[in-house]
Each structure stands twice: as C-alpha cells, then as structure tokens.
Amino acid sequence: EKELWATPGTDTQCECMFVPSMDHRIYSVNATTGVQHWVTDDLGGAIVGTPALSEDRMLYIGTFANTMIALDADNGGELWHFDAQDWVWGGPAINGDALYFGDLSGAFYALDRQTGEMLWKVAPGTGSIVDTPLVVDDMIYFTAEEGLLVAVQADGSISWQKTFEGNTYASPAAAGDLILVTTSQPEALVVAYDANGAQKWTFSDA
C-alpha cells in the first residue's frame, strides 16, 4: 500500500507528474488521464520531498536512505546517487549546473547535478534541514529546524545567518527584495529580511 506525503513534481512537456511515495518509489503519471508512464525500482528509502526537474530532463529526489538520486525523467532510470550523512527530507533546488539540498544531520550540500560530485558542504547549525532551498540571484537560502535561516553564496561561503526563538519547518520565500521565513514563535510568525540579512519587519498573532 502506497502512502503519499509529498507534493508531486510536474512536467509540462509530457503533461505528467512525478509522485514520490513512502514505498521507496517515484511514479510518473499522466496528469490528465491518470495513466502511469513508469515507476522506479525500490530506491531504498521513503521519499517525502518534491522532486526537482531540470531543463535537460534529469529528475532529482532525496530519500530516507540518506541519498540524493538523479533519474532519467523519461523512463525513471537511475543516473547517479550521492550518499548524504542522514535522511534527505526536503526536495532539492536547481541553479544552473548545481543542485542544493540539506539533510537531517544539519549538513547542506551543493552537487554537480550532471555527475553527482560534491562541490561543497556546510553545516552551520545543529538542527535538521527539512525544507527546499530558495535560490535568488545566485544566493541560496535555507532554514534549519532549530530556528535558523542561512544565506550561502554559490561558492559555499556563508554570508549571514539568523536565529529565532521558535522552530522553522518551511522553506524561505522571496517577496520582492525580501526573504521571508516562518517560525513557530507567536511573537514572530513571519520575519522579513533584506538580502544583507537586515531584519525589516515581523508579523505576530498578538
């Protein structure tokens, strides 16, 4: 029996969606008819992050088997896999030839998306990374569960990081020139920063 926790990825070229499953597989399904195009072999671990699709039709997914895997989007065949330190919960982000993602150990990775070779790794905090990174103008933003927002340059240098009283579970979002992050703290449910890490405003339920 399949359990689905993740938002499917979409592919307008074939009018299909890529459905991640807790049964360790990805299903490619026609979005109009519901007909299955293909299904992967067992990928070794549950999948709860949204897959990322590149323009050259490589599909990237993280698993609870501590792996990031690249698939051929046309047939589901595995192209490469990379061993992370812990479960990969969130979906990855693509930026040119780089692929970005984090794992539950708090490590954040940049890979060559064509080969799976690691370009760099940072571990700025101790909290689990469960979100999909946000890429804006070659700056990468991600959160860690302990209440942390990190801004990393494309070469792996950390530009700045901010901590919060509450926890963070969702991906940061871009709104104009601002980066928004949500927290579990009632006094600061949403916090806005500019690209330099200066706090611009907060929203609370008070």
Tens digit of each residue's pLDDT (9 = 90 or more) over 94-117: 999 999 999 999 999 999 999 999
**Separation CA 153–CA 141 (nearest Å):** 9
pLDDT of residue 1: 56
Given a cut of 90, whether residue 184 has pLDDT beyond it is no
This prediction's pTM: 0.94
Question: Residue 89 and residue 107: Cα distance in Å, rounded?
Answer: 12
**Amino acid identity, position 32:** T
User: How high is the pLDDT of residue 71?
Assistant: 98
Q: Which distant-in-sequence residues (6+ apart) come within 8 Å of 96 by Cβ?
A: none
pLDDT at 108: 97
- pLDDT for the residue numbered 95: 96
Percent residues over pLDDT 90 in the chain: 80
**Res 14: pLDDT:** 81
pLDDT digits (tens, 9 = 90+) for 9-23: 988 888 899 999 999
- Span 119-139, average pLDDT: 92
Looking at residue 169, its pLDDT comes to 85
Question: Picking from 35-49, 52-66, 76-90, 176-190, which range would have the lowest pLDDT averaged per residue?
Answer: 176-190
* pLDDT recorded at residue 136: 96
When pLDDT is cut at 50, 70 and 90, the band that residue 87 belongs to is very high
pLDDT for 2 beyond 80: no
Pick the more confident residue, 186 or 145. Answer: 145
- Closest by CA position to 112, among listed 152, 54, 174: 54
- What pLDDT does 206 receive? 65
What pLDDT score was predicted for residue 192? 94
Distance CA 89, CA 155 (A): 23
